Structure 1
Amino acid sequence: MIRIEKIAIIADDYTGAGDAGIHFARFGRKVELLLHIDALTRKRRDNIDIALTSETRFLDPDAAKGVVSDMVRQCRAAGYDRIFKKIDSTMRGNPGSEIEAVLAATGLSAALICPAMPKTGRTCVDGEIYLDGVPLHQSDIGHDPFHPLSSSSIADLLRLQTDLPIGFVGLNEIEAGEAALRRTILAMLERGIRLIIADATEDRHLAALAQQLAAGDLLSVGAGGLAEALARLCAPEGLEGREERKLLLQRPIVSVVGSLTEVSRRQAAHADKSGLFRTIDISSDAPAADIRMACETRLSDPSRSQPNILLRVVDGERPDKISREDGERVAEKLGLATASICSLVPCRTVVSTGGSTSMAVAEALGIESVDLIDEILPGIVVGACNQPDGSIEWFISKAGGFGDDSLLTEIDARCVSA
């Protein structure tokens, strides 16, 4: 066990903040996910970790760097000296420029970087990312319409945005033991290496990396896998095992599918055919009045008795490349539609897939922050809403690019009828 007073987790989108923050919550720490950094100054947070979204996934690298630099300064001014830089496990967004920004703002000499998440099939071998054994750039995520990738190499993807010297730690060095790994890292620091990329194919590799982060002299950079390993290491006394929590999630569920990955499309299609959801399809070009009317019409249909509601965007075939503006428009329309649904039907539980969609939906519902509570399935994060009118109790978020086709129906199986 190591003692860390307060941790600030900085991700580039909502689901990333939840993916990392939930592990610290599961190991006994209090974690609040703030939708906006200005909420940091509104109340005193003693012994509370924070998870933040910079919403920089779709900004250009220089703009993202500026936003993250300012966010780190505000966190440190509020007493959060330990920063965990959450990056996407598939290196989408601006990881290079944002890591560089955090290093500059904290004064740390180097970052230890590992985006692996073995529990969801995401591994790092010889400095390259694999998704269920498939090289990243050849996977469905590699063809993401917002961030198509031409390489699976972590170093190559970082070099698109930073000139900082890069080093590499392989599985042999990680398995050589804590002292030997420390010597390897110190030798890299002496050579001026600033970005240390590490392999991991199993949780024990991530645990070994977390031990190297204990001293606080390296910036922690990774996805949910490294966050979990570090959370286990700094768990309060007696809570080194993850807490089991009983949650009473209530139907009806509103499931909002905003991610355009093929995985999310299959999950929505499976839910649509399950008989558990009334499906509302909207067009991203539809005016606000038409969206509300479509929701009212579908929900008032007496022939429909499904307990839950599925909301998705249908715009024909997925294009190879989608602009940031297109993505923001889709997310905004889904947020508007979700707010309309929740004003018509008493819904206590909202499920949202995709980072931009989750942020837009949370804002449309008036959610100010979320207390992270549990992870009911790998990568499926449950939070208790802090919302002025208290109408929404649970907000469940999921990144778009993983999970079985039956995921949305599996979430339903964990709910009870109101």
Structure 2
Amino acid sequence: MLLGCIGDDFTGSSDLGNTLVKQGMRTVQYVGVPKGDAAPEVEAGVVALKSRSIPAAEAVKLSLEALEWLKAQGCQQFLFKYCSTFDSTAEGNIGPVAEALADALGTESVIFCPAFPATGRTIYQGHLFVQDHLLSESGMENHPLTPMKDPDLRRVLAAQVSRGVGHVPASTVWQGPDAIRARLASEAEEGRGFVIADAIRDEDLLTWGAALKGAKLLTGGSGIALGLPGNFALSGKAGAWTGQGGQVVALSGSCSNATRAQVAAHGGPKREVTAEEALGGLDADSLADWALAQDGLPLIYSSAEPATVAATQKKHGREKVAAALEGLFARTAAALASKGVKRIISAGGETSGAVVEALAPEALEIGPEIDPGVPVMRAGDMVLALKSGNFGAADFFAKAARVMEQGA
């Protein structure tokens, strides 16, 4: 294995796997830290954790376990992958995990680059933009678990780490890899080893990839992986894909602007699940039976407006509401699988993490891309599409069902 990756959720890990496969790397996504060794033909391994919203100490522990396994596979470079909207709180988990990984690898200089221009995430002057809006005005300020109210990633990261935080501006990136390396060295000399990396185009990410050849550790969204495969001698065999027919069901627990638009645009049968129903013990088997009784592509969703989410969290508590909804979607996915469903679409990082944990595959084969950042994945005869809340076009659910069956 050449490149070892640690993802802080399942949708982001599949997004990363998608990027690496498109660049020609033989990639496997593992669900949690594997017990045995990787197959010898694997060039990039992505260990997917559900660590984005758990206590920071637990996230650090899991990430270090993943790092040890990847080191044992012979990896030459390591990537800590988090969301392209830098989802975190003042306590972490991005900063604490990155700092622990850097300490374990004995490296001083580490970049932070969540840019993903294909989905509208860009970094300029240290600030994160979503399309033409600052992060703090993109809808992410209303995220139910990790609201992002500051677009300046230097301030966000500095609140989470003990190391100094620096910056490589776009003007330096445009001068090429040598200029980037010189700026990184200068920032490290000034005590700013953790560096926010500007990137507004795919070309910038490719430049970053060339500049980071030989770096032990880097962090970012899946976009930063665009330029990494070119630093390795690859087999050129990323694997083939076979579609899967049969019943398909969509589950959505994301309240992001993009997912709510996708739910509204979905023309098939829809069943809304409220937080009150989930807290009240709504039976997952009944939801699965409802889905199987529908024609077309049934969608079970809990994607409420921000004001509704805020009111429910105030009444019952944020953690309690999140646990109830994630648990219900997890049990519903397990019920669907037990009833013979072989294709499940899941929208939302936390929802998808709960779904994958319920289905418990050991590893996932990365298949064709549905929309930027969202591939189809296979575990045996089960095919999954795990979508980050903010990703995908308005017709995502219908498109996902088609690609799962036919391929790209």
Work out whether the TM-score is over 0.5. Answer: yes
Contact 2:265 2:395 in 1 (8 A): yes
How many pairs are equivalent? Answer: 393
Who is 1:363 aligned against? 357
Q: CA deviation at 1:144?
A: 0.5
Unpaired runs of 5+ in structure 1?
A: none
Could you tell me which amino acid in structure 2 is paired with residue 353 of structure 1?
A
Could you tell me which amino acid in structure 2 is paired with residue 125 of structure 1?
Y
Contact 2:30 2:47 in 1 (8 A): yes
Distance 1:78 1:412 in 2: 35
Contact 2:77 2:214 in 1 (8 A): no
Who is 2:234 aligned against? 236
Q: CA deviation at 1:44?
A: 4.5
1:284-335 deviation line (CA, Å, top 9, x unaligned):
22426x33134325534xxx4x222212237782217662343232111101
Who is 1:92 aligned against? 87
Distance 1:410 1:235, change over 3 A: farther
Cα RMSD (Å) of the superposition?
A: 2.5
Who is 2:309 aligned against? 318
Q: Secondary structure at the match of 1:284?
A: helix
Residue 131 (structure 2) pairs with residue 135 (structure 1)? no
Residue 338 (structure 2) pairs with residue 332 (structure 1)? no
Could you tell me which amino acid in structure 1 is paired with residue 348 of structure 2?
G
Equivalence map 1:22-171=2 (5 Å): 22-37=18-33, 39=34, 41-48=35-42, 49-93=44-88, 94-171=93-170
Who is 1:383 aligned against? 377
Distance 1:337 1:405 in 2: 24
Who is 1:181 aligned against? 180
Could you tell me which amino acid in structure 2 is paired with residue 262 of structure 1?
N
Contact 1:137 1:143 in 2 (8 A): no
Q: What is the TM-score when the length of structure 1 is the normalising length?
A: 0.86
Q: What is the TM-score when the length of structure 2 is the normalising length?
A: 0.88
Q: CA deviation at 1:26?
A: 2.5
Distance 2:255 2:358 in 1: 20
Contact 1:249 1:414 in 2 (8 A): no
Could you tell me which amino acid in structure 2 is paired with residue 202 of structure 1?
R
Distance 1:415 1:291, change over 3 A: closer
Residue 258 (structure 2) pairs with residue 260 (structure 1)? no
Residue 6 (structure 2) pairs with residue 10 (structure 1)? yes
Q: Secondary structure at the match of 1:367?
A: coil
Q: CA deviation at 1:33?
A: 1.4
Distance 1:310 1:292 in 2: 15
Who is 2:224 aligned against? 226
Could you tell me which amino acid in structure 2 is paired with residue 319 of structure 1?
A
Q: CA deviation at 1:164?
A: 0.7
Could you tell me which amino acid in structure 1 is paired with residue 99 of structure 2?
E
Distance 1:81 1:164, change over 3 A: same
Unpaired runs of 5+ in structure 2?
A: none
Identity of aligned residues (%): 23
Distance 1:238 1:11 in 2: 24
Q: CA deviation at 1:169?
A: 0.8
Indicate which of 396, 400, 407 corresponds to 1:411.
400
Contact 1:295 1:341 in 2 (8 A): yes
Distance 1:30 1:54 in 2: 20
Distance 1:328 1:227, change over 3 A: farther
Q: Secondary structure at the match of 2:229?
A: helix
Distance 1:70 1:414, change over 3 A: closer
Q: CA deviation at 1:160?
A: 1.9
Distance 1:308 1:101, change over 3 A: same
Q: Secondary structure at the match of 1:250?
A: coil
Q: CA deviation at 1:202?
A: 0.4
